[in-house]
Amino acid sequence: MSVFQAPRGTYDLLPPDSATYLAVREAIAAPLRNSGYGYVETPGFENVELFARGVGESTDIVTKEMYAFETKGGDRLALRPEGTASVLRAALEASLHKQGVLPVKLWYSGSYYRYEKPQKGRYRHFSQVGAEAIGAEDPALDAELIILADQAYRSLGLRQFRILLNSLGDKECRPVYREKLQEFLRGLDLDEDTRRRVEINPLRVLDDKRPEVQRQLTGAPSLRESLCEACRAYHQEVRELLTEEGVSFTDDEKLVRGLDYYTRTTFEFVHDGLGSQSAVGGGGRYDGLSEMIGGPALPSVGWALGVDRTVLALEAEGVRLDLPAPTSVFAVPLGEQARRVLFGVVTQLRRKGVAADFAYGGRGLKGAMKVANRSGARYAIVAGERDLAEGIVQLKDMESGEQSPVPLSAVVTEIEARLS
């Protein structure tokens, strides 16, 4: 019988590579925790209708990429293809917006699922860290989130990413632009699916990556020119706040993102070292989403950054994260008495917060020291019957190779001193 394999388009995270993913998640989460965002966790699946209404029935995500299924009880559920709708649903269900503190600031981390053609940088199961600020309409909030994402990427050592920025208008000016755009698009030579999209959500056609479509979009009406005064002023303030804080960006009038709920500010983080899958993250303002999923009017803004894509960006720039060794001390017992004594030492070290491991399985000295080397430990504690009879253990510096006897009663204190 052959060994089972992970489903196509998915991946397993295993040591030592998994340590990089954990470090990336931590780096993205750190500035959020430092800015008033609390952690939220939602189920891996939701009611299909949540995404159909929120993400948009005409989007590729809902029509082609969502994993939808019916339960034995007849419920129609879907694996979550993105995080915003789930987080907003959870916040509304718990009435967080009624607790007197707005915006409600939340961050999350988890796996998401889309049925896509697998390729490097695009998987059917992927990992994201996201942030949502729910219940406030303020250009400073939009700027804050963009700045925090920029801060996270820079803390990892990334430098070759760009921020694309646009405004999609609001319920006042967007319908006017929508009609102008539809009139223009109806005159183009488009396939049947794209023509259908023109009638349902014409802005999505601007995001079509096919060259034959992009060529025809030359001369399309400009959304920026159709913005009402309120949207124009709002977008200008976002731009000014970013500039004042030294965060550079590029205006991109064709940036619409792949979800229907965005209004006003929309942005994307792209990295030129990733080829066609250049987006590493993005987000925007979604002032109407709460009402779309049955809640009150709650203007909100958020983003999601891809952990997988960020790791690829680090590789593209040749950035190696300075990760702590998973093990600082490795204990090698020689004999049954030493096994019990050193197991106690390892337990004491762990209680003191020192990363320590142990040669399990009764290996000989040579085999156990090979494992100690592979563990990346800075020090090895070796002891046999003769050492214990003298009340000592041998402490070996794995970098220099120097080995010296240390009293058993003082070994924990000695290791703490050396590691500090």
Per-residue pLDDT tens for 230-281?
Answer: 999 999 999 999 999 999 999 988 887 666 678 899 999 999 888 777 899 9
Q: Is 132 annotated as a binding residue?
A: yes
What pLDDT, on the 0 to 100 scale, is given for residue 259?
Answer: 64
Sheet holding 279-285, edge to edge: 38-39, 104-113, 125-134, 300-306, 279-285, 263-271, 161-167, 250-251
**CATH T-level topology, domain 17-165+245-317:** BirA Bifunctional Protein; domain 2 (3.30.930)
CA-CA-CA-CA dihedral for 402, 405, 406, 409, to nearest 10: 150
Residue 261 labeled ligand binder: yes
> What is the share, in percent, of the chain residues with pLDDT greater than 90?
71
Domain boundaries, the chain: 17-165+245-317, 329-419
Q: What's the pTM?
A: 0.90
55-83, pLDDT tens digit by residue?
776 566 777 788 999 999 999 999 999 99
Q: How many CB atoms lie within 10 A of CB 242?
A: 21
83 is in an annotated binding site: yes
Q: Is 386 annotated to bind ligand?
A: no
Of the pLDDT bands very low, low, confident and very high (cuts 50, 70, 90), residue 320 is very high
Return the H-helix or E-strand segment holding 263: strand 263-271
User: What is the sign, positive or negative, of the torsion defined by CA atoms of 254, 259, 263, 268?
Assistant: negative
128 is in an annotated binding site: yes
State residue 73's pLDDT score. Answer: 93
Taking alpha carbons only, the member of 76, 4, 83, 75 closest to residue 302 is: 83
Known binder of ligand: residue 379? no
Average confidence score pLDDT of the chain: 92
- The rounded distance, in Å, linking the Cα atoms of 79 and 16 is 28
> Which of 127-141, 269-283, 308-322 is predicted least confidently?
269-283
- Let me know if domain 329-419 sits in CATH 3.40.50.720: no
Q: What is the mean pLDDT of residues 161-178?
A: 91
Q: At what angle do helices 336-351 and 411-419 cross, to 10 degrees?
A: 50
122 assigned binding-site residue:
no
Give the pLDDT band of residue 95 (cuts 50, 70, 90).
Answer: very high
Find the angle CA(227)-CA(190)-CA(48) to the nearest 5 degrees: 70
Are 310 and 153 in contact by the 8 Å Cβ rule? The answer is yes
Q: Is 243 among the annotated ligand-binding positions?
A: no
Query: If you average pLDDT over residues 190-207, what whole number do you get?
Result: 84
Answer yes or no: is pLDDT of 219 > 80: yes
Please check if 187 is assigned to a binding site. Answer: no
Query: One-letter amino acid identity for 406?
Result: V
Say what the pLDDT of residue 57 is.
64
Q: What percent of the chain has pLDDT over 70?
A: 98
**Taking 90 as the threshold, does the pLDDT of residue 99 lie above it?**
yes
Q: At what angle do helices 139-155 and 17-33 cross, to 10 degrees?
A: 150
